[in-house]
Amino acid sequence: MAEGESKAAKIGCVAIFLSPLWAGGLWTLVQAIRTEQIAPAILGVCLFGAGAFPLYLVLISIRQQPQREAFYKDMRAIPAEWKPEWSSGRLQDQTVEAASVINAMTIFLAGISLVFGFLAFVTVRQGAWAGLVLLVVPLILAGFVIAKIRGSMRRKRFGKSELLLDETPAHVGETLRANLIVEKLRPEELAGKTFNFRVSSIRRRTWTERYHGSPTTRSDSTVLWAGSQDVLPVSAVLKEDGLWQPVALEIPKVQQATNDALENDKVYWQLEASASLPGIDY
């Protein structure tokens, strides 16, 4: 019963969050039909679709959740096989996935900003200055646009980044050896610079609480261990697919290995690489 309530709450929250789009679109469409105007009708259909489509995706995701859990259950014993790139030992930069989320949110917020901006204009024009509060959504959109521009600058400057592990999977109590591959970085850009590599063991807990009778999912993350190392690019090699920077990090044997991906108490590892470079940092 709690699981069903959680799904219903999730659908309800998404529906409420998207209500300015689908409700505004539905209202615009009804008004357009009454006045027999084509342009407002098209706008109403677009707004309704922009609000209803994400809700449809949420419903599909909930419906496919049992299949996803069954799929991961078959491969949960070997963490290195949870993702294809993990089993290959060639890990992709997580900012690629973040860029996809930012792009989707930018498009989504752009649609909402049109509605909220129009409502703010109408409200202020009628003398209700409180309508300026509606401009908070366009301000959030501006933040996503800035993040999108910065991410585009990084990708244009450095291209894609990958981490190629010497051994898959890596093991606690041993040396993590790998190569950081940066597509567009060149050795001359690293003159007098250093790479900083930081590896962290992170514990993430997820639990469900009841708030005013409704289940609410909460989570927290704790860094169990972290180690860093500065590496001079003297051993960097330029190859066809980019600059290869070797790295070797000692992992204490007292640390925990990655555990089951479906557990509510997870332990996973994260590797970060950074370098201070002219123009924009890596």
Dist. CA 20–CA 11, nearest whole Å: 15
Summarised one tens digit per residue, pLDDT across range 215-247 is: 677 888 888 888 888 888 778 888 888 888 888
Q: What is the pLDDT of residue 2?
A: 47
Rounded to the nearest integer, the mean pLDDT of the chain is 76
| CA distance readout (Å), 264 to 218, 220, 270 | 11, 11, 18
- Long-range Cβ contact pairs of 68-72 (< 8 A, separation 24 or more): 69/262, 72/261, 72/262
Burial 172-207 (b: 16+ CB within 10 A, else e): beeebebbbbbeebeeebbeeeebebebebebeeee
Tell me the percentage of the chain whose pLDDT exceeds 70.
Answer: 78
Dist. CA 179–CA 246, nearest whole Å: 4
Tell me the percentage of the chain whose pLDDT exceeds 90.
Answer: 0
Summarised one tens digit per residue, pLDDT across range 30-84 is: 777 777 777 667 767 777 777 777 777 878 877 877 776 676 666 555 555 556 6
Summarised one tens digit per residue, pLDDT across range 8-22 is: 767 777 777 777 777
Residue predicted with more confidence, 202 or 125: 202
Q: Could you tell me the pLDDT band of residue 1, with boundaries at 50, 70 and 90?
A: very low
